Amino acid sequence: MKETVTGSIARMGNNQKSFILQEIEDKWFGAYAVDQLQGAGLGDKVQFFYESVEKNDRVFNNIKGNVSVVGKTPPPIADALTPYLPRERLILRQNALTNAVNFVVNNPNSDTTASAVLETAAEFEAWTSGDVDRPKPAVKADTEEAFEPTTEDWKEAAVKLKAAS
pLDDT for the residue 149: 66
What is the block-wise mean pLDDT of the chain (165 residues), using blocks of 10 residues?
90 91 90 94 94 92 95 68 72 90 88 88 87 64 60 78 77
CA proximity to 100, closest of 127, 128, 119, 126 = 119
CA pair distance 18, 42, nearest whole angstrom = 11
Integer-rounded Cα Rg, in Å, for the chain is: 30
Strand residues in 22-136 grouped as ranges (E): 24-30, 45-55, 58-71
Please give the pLDDT value at position 107: 87
pLDDT reported for residue 4: 93
